[in-house]
Structure 1
């Protein structure tokens, strides 16, 4: 039996009332855990389990090294003490169970998610039934109408970015979708010495991408809801990360499978090449960028979208620049790639590389507990 435990029940010796009481044990004259609890008082009052406190601490930059200075093995051990002390101290704010906003299914998600696909299908039908100037008018109207519809569709739900998306990221996204519509045809026409007149539009891949907004929303909600459950059930940050990583990969694979099915369906109905590689890679890139941006990780997705868009623009520019005297060598890489795998290899390569980078980033960041903390505690 130690001296501290032997004297635990002894009454405190009377002394000077003005002399500050010295807490026993590892905390010394100043209680650093109590000071940390004071700085994160709202988090401690609202938390329904220790892991939620750990997520909030991680979001504020508290690491295992910080926890070690407070004599804890990791952040979760520190969060357990903070949770226990907050409950013992009888905080006034009641602990409530997570509400439906973390996140819960909402009826209007279906209408918002289906709106881009429905509008795009109407535009495609209009393009098929018209010719000449009316066809151009339908195309312009469709392009102008899709932007606000997509904006409204993604304002709410698990793909909402809470105004974190920059203007540059939105511009590159629009360029990537525009390239999916006209890029392959323009590249083929440029390689043949054109363009001579209008080139064919790839409506099947764009229609499939718009229809894929619904499965993208559902997969994102499925991942977010299951991750929140694991956040409540896990007993440590490493355990949580190990359990969420398969959820992320499963939701991503489910979306890619749904997108491939939509590409096959649209290609069959419209009698066009489905462009599995190019449109599939673009869909994966956009989904991962949206998932990361919605959780506050905006830097890498913005760079990935800009890199993919710039690479596609550069591919077109080099083909046209090769027509200048002495500049034919500029188009050699694009020419060889197009000869080997067709013009669709350009978006497949650049968007696939960007999607791979974002998948690695998502596996690193979206498996953190702080990525699934309440919005006010997210990084």
Structure 2
């Protein structure tokens, strides 16, 4: 026989005047202090919403699984944001995950990444902050070596003669090359990706043309060369001295861009704030380079090659900036195009001496007669530098170009 309902028992008790029996509360599968406590409606609602989220599809979790390696090795949310942006995730894509931008999506992903519980928070913080900024600025000293050794080489050439002069020149070239290699292997100008092998060959050709090209072109236009011509050492010395301001400008650009990456709340906002920074740093380097060109030309008693050496320095800085941020293909292509243009200019002058081919030399001879021999490398390197500047304004203003790495100085 089943027990009567509680309301019927209470009514019977009320009619007979006996006290009401105590009705036990319904059984509960959760403890009173849990989120699903029936006595707390708000917590019950939160628990039901949470259960629906757990039972439904979690798009952020799926995205984390897709970029699991990126999330696991990231030391902060900025690295995840930069990686997502590099994989094509935009603010519009983040809106589909119910986030206002990529940065907020990266913050949730970073917060949900499982961490190693064996590492104390203090130790993890110390590992993640292992100071790129506390490292001694060895790169700043190395950036001064090419210009210093170049100046010492020219002094040695002036003080010697004969075979000893040749030996001093060869040793100076090797010393400057080694110093330049050391300066580019550390610091803000260090390439974060393996450069294209042809990049070094094109760079060496452009530097060799800055040393000997204007003299060769002038002699070729005049009908020679009939004898050896003096090399233009002032532009090359200015370029060697410009390694130091180039490194400092690259350091300034990288440091300020990373700070703005931390404070920006959207990809478009970050790009808009970094673009004028890039142009300002580039203009600052050009001012330092042109100053060095004028000073070295005055000291050595040579013509100031503002067009040729100035555009070449701008081209080399932009190419190195792109390589320092992982972009290596475009610098190799543009440097090769500039070198090919200089080779073609010299070849057309000599080809114009052939019967019926005089028209080939007309453009170069006209440019040399109007603006001087420096106009040829100025036009070639200037067009290449402008191309790289437009490319850098599109690529170096992305968050993915400024993701912190272990090699960041």
TM-score normalised according to structure 1 size: 0.86
Hey, what does 2:84 align to over in structure 1?
57
Question: 1:9 is paired with a residue of what secondary structure?
Answer: helix
Q: Which moved more, 1:166-175 or 1:136-145?
A: 136-145
Question: Could you list the per-position Cα deviations for residues 28-51 of structure 1 after superposition, in whole angstroms to 9, with x for gaps in the alignment?
Answer: 732121122234446446656644
Hey, what does 1:3 align to over in structure 2?
none
Hey, what does 2:308 align to over in structure 1?
278
Question: 2:366 is paired with a residue of what secondary structure?
Answer: helix
Distance, in Å, in 2 between the alignment partners of 1:121 and 1:194 is: 31
Hey, what does 1:96 align to over in structure 2?
125
Question: 1:96 is paired with a residue of what secondary structure?
Answer: helix
Q: 2:405 aligns with which of 358, 367, 375?
A: 375
Question: Could you list the per-position Cα deviations for residues 63-84 of structure 1 after superposition, in whole angstroms to 9, with x for gaps in the alignment?
Answer: 3454354344543342243245
8 Å Cα contact 1:120-1:142 kept in structure 2: yes
Hey, what does 1:183 align to over in structure 2?
213
Unpaired segments of 5 or more residues in structure 1? 1-5, 14-20
Q: CA deviation at 1:327?
A: 1.6
Question: Could you list the per-position Cα deviations for residues 199-253 of structure 1 after superposition, in whole angstroms to 9, with x for gaps in the alignment?
Answer: 1111111001001111111111111111111122222222222222222112111
Cα gap change, 1:140/1:317 in structure 2, threshold over 3 Å: closer, same or farther? farther
8 Å Cα contact 2:342-2:377 kept in structure 1: yes
- Alignment map for 1:1-379 (pairs within 5 Å): 9-10=44-45, 24=52, 29-41=56-68, 43-44=70-71, 50-64=77-91, 66-86=93-113, 92=117, 94=121, 96=125, 99=129, 102=132, 106-162=136-192, 164-375=194-405
TM-score normalised according to structure 2 size: 0.80
Question: 1:152 is paired with a residue of what secondary structure?
Answer: helix
Question: 2:393 is paired with a residue of what secondary structure?
Answer: helix
Q: CA deviation at 1:188?
A: 0.4
Q: CA deviation at 1:324?
A: 1.8
8 Å Cα contact 1:155-1:162 kept in structure 2: no
Q: CA deviation at 1:113?
A: 0.5
Question: 1:348 is paired with a residue of what secondary structure?
Answer: helix
Where has structure 1 moved over 6 Å in runs of 4 or more? none
Distance, in Å, in 2 between the alignment partners of 1:12 and 1:231 is: 37
8 Å Cα contact 1:285-1:352 kept in structure 2: yes
Q: Size of the alignment, in residue pairs?
A: 363
Distance, in Å, in 2 between the alignment partners of 1:343 and 1:248 is: 31
Question: Could you list the per-position Cα deviations for residues 91-140 of structure 1 after superposition, in whole angstroms to 9, with x for gaps in the alignment?
Answer: 74746386365566633123211111111112212333344544444333
Larger radius of gyration: 2
Question: 1:310 is paired with a residue of what secondary structure?
Answer: helix
Q: Which moved more, 1:108-117 or 1:132-141?
A: 132-141
Q: Which moved more, 1:300-309 or 1:101-110?
A: 101-110
